[in-house]
C-alpha cells in the first residue's frame, strides 16, 4: 500500500510539473513570417504592410515577448519605401539595440538611406 501511495504522489507531482510548462519561444513570431512573404510578393500596399507590422509589435508587447529577429529592420525598410526616413532610421536603430550582430548591416542601411553619406 505504501508503494502505491508513493507512486501515486510521484505521478501527480510529475503531471503537475508537465502541466506548468508552457510552450514558450524566445521571440514572438505571430504573423511575422506571413507579413514578410506578403512584402516580398507585394500583395499589399506598403501602408497596409506597415499597419500590419505595427499591429504585430503591439501583439508582441501584449505577449510580453521580444519581436522576432529582423522585424524592426523589416518595418524600417517599409518606412523607407514610403519616404519616412525618420521612422526607418528609428527602426534600424531599434534592430541594432535588440540584435547587436546586425549593427554593420543596419549602419549600411542607414548610410544608403541617406544617399551614401
d(CA 38, CA 104): 26
Domain that residue 48 falls in: 26-113
d(CA 107, CA 83): 18
- Give the tens place of pLDDT for each residue, 10-58: 566 666 655 555 556 789 898 888 888 888 887 778 899 999 999 999 9
In a domain, 13, yes or no: no
In a domain, 17, yes or no: no
CATH of residue 59's domain is 1.25.40
In a domain, 65, yes or no: yes
Helix axes 71-81, 103-113, angle to 10 degrees: 10
Instruction: Cell numbers for 12, please give them.
Output: 501527480
In a domain, 8, yes or no: no
In a domain, 34, yes or no: yes
The pLDDT value given to residue 70: 95
Amino acid at each position: 500500500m505504501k508503494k502505491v501511495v508513493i507512486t501515486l504522489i510521484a505521478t501527480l507531482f510529475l503531471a503537475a510539473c508537465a502541466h506548468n510548462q508552457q510552450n514558450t519561444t524566445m521571440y514572438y513570431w505571430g504573423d511575422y513570417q506571413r507579413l514578410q512573404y506578403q512584402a516580398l510578393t507585394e500583395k499589399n500596399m506598403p501602408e497596409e504592410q506597415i499597419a500590419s507590422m505595427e499591429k504585430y509589435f503591439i501583439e508582441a508587447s501584449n505577449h510580453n515577448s521580444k519581436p522576432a529577429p529582423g522585424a524592426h529592420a523589416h518595418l524600417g525598410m517599409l518606412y523607407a519605401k514610403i519616404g519616412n526616413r525618420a521612422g526607418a532610421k528609428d527602426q534600424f536603430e531599434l534592430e541594432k539595440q535588440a540584435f547587436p550582430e546586425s549593427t554593420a548591416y543596419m549602419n549600411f542601411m542607414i548610410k544608403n538611406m541617406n544617399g551614401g553619406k
